[in-house]
């Protein structure tokens, strides 16, 4: 792993049962962790990185852009203006009070606007169409939009976000569908040597095809689509958010999970979580009480996982919580990815890196399956640990020259 969305640090949790503001950040567990400073002989990233937002959406509404997150040096939450100046949020209140207006007027259709990302910031770049977003502050936190909640003031606004970390090791920039999919976006970075990397593009008419595919999937999947009163299909929620809001069955995966845990009562699961350490393996077996225990090469028990619930799997949390450590977290994230992709219980060495073997079960994460199927390069962040095996929609460069976010046609 290069970036782990569930091992993100430094951003204060939101309150009132709303989720925390998350952003891509270097992880301490997984296939590779990013260092805090540039490697010897490599050009240090600029203090202000040009970030060009290009509007090829084909829509006519006014676009608003927000650069929100945390100052990595101080841990303060705040926002950056178009020039890259970071301003900490003032203290909020209980009940939460409105945050200062941090909206940056975005580019018109067919146009582009270049902002500056300050070095040492991690957060999100939000974009909204036709209306500004509402953000709220508490005495010690920040409340982000949660449009899956019926009372959220942003529920009927067309918006989405990308996630970034920009520090001494360079830029990480990714699209994210972990909570929902709404606005198709592509992200790119140009390195100091002129090399350009890009991901996030959908196939032709990809947004509508994703909505249609989710609508036509038997079961609760169609309930995850939210329409505005004018008929606009605003977003598809992830099944995890669907469970949170009562739209999706909280037992959907239970039978598959039970079958999988039972499989490893009579055979061994081998987890090889570190791509650069193929000899480092953990062996898992399920005991009579339904707990899967893992041992290391010495035979010592190093991790244990009671059988998780459907919600635990879709959220990669609960009984599959992955701490930012060198053993339990990497095993947990491998299990979670394999359960989403319905490879656990069929393929007994994990992770599996052959996408042709993903999502083949009738009971599987069809939301993530459809996102990947309609991505031009097969990459998407359909769930929290979609970076297992490098299937996430992420670009990174250690010495970036510039970066870009393109609102692609829909």
What is the domain partition of the chain in residue ranges?
A: 5-204+368-407, 254-362
Just give the CATH number of 5-204+368-407. Answer: 2.60.110.10
- 227 SS3 class: strand
Question: Does 254-362 match 5-204+368-407 at the fold level?
Answer: no
Residues annotated catalytic, as ranges: 163, 179
CB-CB neighbours of 270 under 10 Å: 12
Q: First-to-last CA distance in the chain? A: 31
| Residue with the two structure tokens 């909020």 | 92
What radius of gyration, in Å, describes the C-alpha atoms of the chain? 21
Residue 27: per-residue pLDDT: 38
**CA-wise closest residue to 375 among 238, 187, 222:** 187
What is the rounded CA–CA span in Å between residue 93 and residue 137? 7
| CA atoms 214, 218, 220, 223: torsion sign | positive
What is the rounded CA–CA span in Å between residue 392 and residue 180? 15
Residue 105: per-residue pLDDT: 98
- 258 SS3 class: helix
Residue 39: per-residue pLDDT: 55
What tens-digit pLDDT sequence spans the chain (410 residues)?
333 443 332 232 333 323 333 334 433 333 333 334 555 567 899 999 999 999 999 999 999 999 999 999 999 999 999 999 999 999 999 999 999 999 999 999 999 999 999 999 999 999 999 999 999 999 989 999 999 999 999 999 999 999 999 999 999 999 999 999 999 999 999 999 999 999 999 999 999 999 999 999 999 999 999 999 999 999 999 999 999 999 999 999 999 999 999 999 999 999 999 999 999 999 999 999 999 999 999 999 999 999 999 999 999 999 999 999 999 999 999 999 999 999 999 999 999 999 999 999 999 999 999 999 999 999 999 999 999 999 999 999 999 999 999 999 99
What is the rounded CA–CA span in Å between residue 262 and residue 266? 8
Residue 42: per-residue pLDDT: 75
Residue 91: per-residue pLDDT: 94
The superfamily in CATH containing domain 254-362 is Beta-1,3-glucanase, C-terminal domain (3.30.920.50)
What is the rounded CA–CA span in Å between residue 271 and residue 30? 12
């Amino acid at each position: 792993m290069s970036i782990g969305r569930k091992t993100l640090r430094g951003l204060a949790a939101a309150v009132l049962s709303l989720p925390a503001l998350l952003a891509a950040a270097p992880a301490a567990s997984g296939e590779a962790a990013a260092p805090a400073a540039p490697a010897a002989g490599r050009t240090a990233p600029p203090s202000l990185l040009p970030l060009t937002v290009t509007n090829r959406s084909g829509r006519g509404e006014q676009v608003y852009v927000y650069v929100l997150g945390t100052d990595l040096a101080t841990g303060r939450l705040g926002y950056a203006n178009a020039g890259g100046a970071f301003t900490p949020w003032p203290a909020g209140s209980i009940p939460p009070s409105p945050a200062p207006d941090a909206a940056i007027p975005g580019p018109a259709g067919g146009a582009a606007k270049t902002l500056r990302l300050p070095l040492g910031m991690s957060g999100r770049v939000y974009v909204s169409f036709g209306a500004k977003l509402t953000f709220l502050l508490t005495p010690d936190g920040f409340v982000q939009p949660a449009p899956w909640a019926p009372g959220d003031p942003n529920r009927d606004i067309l918006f989405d976000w990308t996630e970034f970390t920009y520090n001494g090791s360079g830029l990480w920039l990714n699209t994210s569908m972990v909570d929902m999919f709404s606005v198709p976006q592509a992200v790119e970075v140009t390195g100091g040597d002129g090399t350009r990397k890009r991901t996030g593009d959908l196939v032709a008419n990809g947004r509508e095809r994703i909505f249609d595919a989710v609508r036509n999937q038997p079961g609760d999947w169609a309930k995850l689509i939210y329409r505005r009163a004018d008929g606009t299909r605003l977003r598809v929620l992830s099944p995890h958010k669907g469970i949170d809001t009562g739209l999706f069955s909280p037992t959907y995966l239970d039978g598959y999970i039970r079958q999988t845990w039972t499989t490893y009562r009579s055979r061994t699961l081998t987890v090889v979580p570190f791509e650069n350490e193929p000899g480092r393996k953990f062996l898992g077996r399920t005991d009579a009480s339904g707990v899967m225990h893992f041992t290391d090469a010495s035979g010592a028990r190093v991790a244990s996982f009671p059988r998780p619930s459907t919600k635990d799997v879709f959220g990669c949390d609960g009984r599959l919580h992955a701490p930012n450590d060198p053993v339990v977290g990497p095993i947990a994230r491998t299990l979670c990815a394999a359960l989403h992709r319905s490879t656990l219980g069929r393929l007994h060495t994990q992770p599996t890196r052959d996408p042709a073997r993903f999502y083949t079960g009738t009971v599987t994460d069809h939301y993530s399956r459809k996102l990947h199927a309609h991505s031009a390069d097969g990459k998407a962040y359909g769930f929290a640990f979609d970076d297992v095996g490098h299937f996430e929609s992420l670009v990174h460069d250690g010495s970036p020259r510039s970066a870009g976010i393109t609102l692609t046609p829909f």
